[in-house]
Amino acid sequence: MSLSEPQRGNVFLVAVVCLLVVGICAPFSGHDLQRGMQIAVGVCAVLYGLSVPRMERLLDRPTVVGLVLIVGLGLVSSVLAHQPLWAFAEVALFVSGGAVAVAFALLRRRGGEPLDRYLIMLVVLLCLIKSIQYVYAGTLAFISAEHTLDPDLLLSGFSNKRFYGQFQTFTLPLLALPLLIPTLSRSLRAAVFALLCVWWLIAIGGGTRGTWLGMGAAALVVALLGPWGRRWLGWQLAAVIVGLLLYWLVFTALADYLGIQVLNGASDRLTTSLSGRGPIWGQAWHMLVERPWLGFGPMHFADIANRTAAHPHQSILQWASEWGVPSALCVAVLAWRGGWATFGLLRERTLCSEPADLLRMCLFAALVGALVQSMVDGVIVMPNSQVWLALVVGWLMALHLWKTPETAELPLAWGAWKTLSVLAVGLLVFIAVRDVPHIQQAQQQYLDSHANLLQPRFWAQGVIAR
């Protein structure tokens, strides 16, 4: 018996929620499991997209042309790359992310405002589980007989605390949405605010400066969006102040009282150092200068071994050095057009208090924060961040209000997109089936010969240079 379209949407939603909960909240989670989660989400998105008979208007024609150019240039660059299969895998990740964004947009268009509530419930659930894990780990650390405490060890589910910080950059803006809804009861409002304060405590304790930078930029932009934007900013500032107070009470006052020395405190991160980014930024720049038109090939920063990372921690340099300057310009133009269109819509509806308008503002804040953080961090590289980036973009696409009349259907374009997305996720599944059975052995071999340091890119051991 075949499922109806709403039932297929529900199956897709439940599958994605389960994958996200396992990929983010499982104690054994990490980069490789999250990459597997991302591929599984991509498969679900493609299957859902294939079940949709008619493509609704999600993009305008210039955006479609820009995306075609980006994918086309990426394919040509991949053919000329040193390791074409890995280059094609990076293009496949880009296409898979697009399929996830389209699937979320179609799901929201068909499900309407109830889907917005499900999204916020998902964010609250994930943040609540991670907060409970953090508080539980902190309680065990304080009641143990140890005389030192490293707050970094309280973070679980991510291979690196910066990846945890990227997830917080996406969720901190969204977690404030319930506080803006006038009909929310006082008790629920207090509970959500308490969760937001703890979430900020974790962000402060984690010490990810990219998260602080991204949220600061998002706050400046949202403050320009009228009274509701300033109200959002007020709740965030209140939560930051409470989070700072909690951090001082727990990691300074209580730790001193119990005679526990705190290592890697948040104050130690208040520096302007590049934390080793200088050399990898330099490597990306030299790659860009050497091959400006098509780059070295997608993912091919990881094909030139260095002692720091398999990606340059800077999205513009990464894209330009790997895909080429023309492709990077296309990405930048599309990002600017989409962001400016959303900003203009938010300014037009600045006094609207409809839940969809408030959600659009929070999603835009999350997108701004993530894009700013990508200037100093690997937001466009890490699997969980790629999934959330696709989710935010897809939801914004669904909520966008078009000023021009809808154009005619383009069945050939929709068919070509379906074919491309199937090929993309097929390649990703092939790589996962090929690598996963031997992944631990390959990682251990790399650790034994490279100073016990993994450099994540596609997998946790992401260096593809041979």
**For every one of its 466 residues, what pLDDT tens digit does the chain have, with 9 covering 90 and above?**
466 767 888 889 999 999 999 999 988 889 999 999 999 999 999 999 988 876 677 888 899 999 999 999 999 999 999 999 999 999 999 999 999 999 999 999 988 899 999 999 999 999 999 999 999 999 998 888 678 888 888 998 898 889 999 999 999 999 999 999 988 889 999 999 999 999 999 999 988 899 999 999 999 999 999 999 999 999 999 999 999 999 999 999 999 988 888 888 777 777 777 778 899 999 999 999 999 999 999 999 999 988 889 999 999 999 999 999 999 999 999 999 999 999 999 999 888 888 999 999 999 999 999 999 999 999 999 999 999 999 999 999 999 988 776 555 567 778 889 999 999 999 999 999 999 999 999 898 888 887 678 899 999 999 998 6
DSSP bridge partners of 262: 149
Q: Residue 381: inside a domain, yes or no?
A: yes
Total count of domains within the chain:
1
Q: Judge whether 225 and 380 are in contact, CB under 8 Å.
A: no
Q: Residue 152: inside a domain, yes or no?
A: yes
What is d(CA 167, CA 139) in angstroms, rounded to the nearest whole number?
Answer: 23
DSSP bridge partners of 148: 261
Q: Residue 362: inside a domain, yes or no?
A: yes
What does pTM read for this prediction? 0.95
Q: Residue 465: inside a domain, yes or no?
A: no
The DSSP secondary structure of 171-190, one letter per residue, reads: HHHHHTHHHH-TTS-HHHHH
Residue 185 corresponds to which tokens in the numbers above? 């009861």
Q: Residue 360: inside a domain, yes or no?
A: yes
Helix (H, G, I), strand (E, B) or coil at 441: helix
Q: Residue 25: inside a domain, yes or no?
A: yes
Q: Residue 420: inside a domain, yes or no?
A: yes
Domain extent at residue 409: 5-449
Residue 242 corresponds to which tokens in the numbers above? 């409470």
Residue 356 corresponds to which tokens in the numbers above? 């969809």
